[in-house]
Structure 1
Amino acid sequence: MTLLLLVALGAAVGAPLRYLTDRAIQTRHPSLFPWGTLAVNVAGALVLGFVLGLPPANGLMALVGTGFCGALTTYSTFSYETVRLIQDGSRLYALVNLTASIVAGLGAAVLGYAAAGAVVG
Structure 2
Amino acid sequence: MKQALLVFVGGGFGSVGRYYVGKWLNNFENAIPYGTMLSNVLGSLLIGLILGYLGRTANVSENQTLLLATGFCGGFTTFSTFAYENHLYLKNGDYFSYLPYTLLSLFLGFTAVFLGLYLSKLV
Q: Aligned partner of 2:78: which letter?
A: T
Unaligned runs of 5+ in 1: none
Are 1:51 and 2:31 an aligned pair? no
Q: TM-score, normalised by structure 1?
A: 0.91
Deviation of 1:32 after TM superposition, in Å, equals: 2.8
Are 1:12 and 2:16 an aligned pair? no
Q: Percent identity?
A: 33
Cα distance in 2, alignment partners of residues 22 and 110 from structure 1: 24
Query: Structure 1 residue runs of 4+, over 3 Å off?
Result: none
Cα distance in 1, alignment partners of residues 54 and 71 from structure 2: 18
Q: How many residues align?
A: 118
Unaligned runs of 5+ in 2: none
CA RMSD of aligned residues (A): 1.5
* CA deviation vs aligned residue, 1:74-96 (integer Å, no higher than 9, x gap): 11100000110122221021111
* Secondary structure of the corresponding residue to residue 20 of structure 2: helix
Contact 1:32 1:85 in 2 (8 A): no
Q: TM-score, normalised by structure 2?
A: 0.89
Deviation of 1:5 after TM superposition, in Å, equals: 1.5
Matches within 5 A, 1:1-121: 2-27=2-27, 30-56=29-55, 57=60, 58-119=62-123
Cα distance in 1, alignment partners of residues 21 and 80 from structure 2: 17
Cα distance in 1, alignment partners of residues 112 and 29 from structure 2: 25
Contact 1:46 1:112 in 2 (8 A): yes
Contact 1:50 1:113 in 2 (8 A): yes
Cα distance in 1, alignment partners of residues 106 and 100 from structure 2: 10
Deviation of 1:66 after TM superposition, in Å, equals: 0.4
Cα distance in 1, alignment partners of residues 106 and 54 from structure 2: 26
Contact 2:54 2:65 in 1 (8 A): no
Cα distance in 2, alignment partners of residues 33 and 88 from structure 1: 14
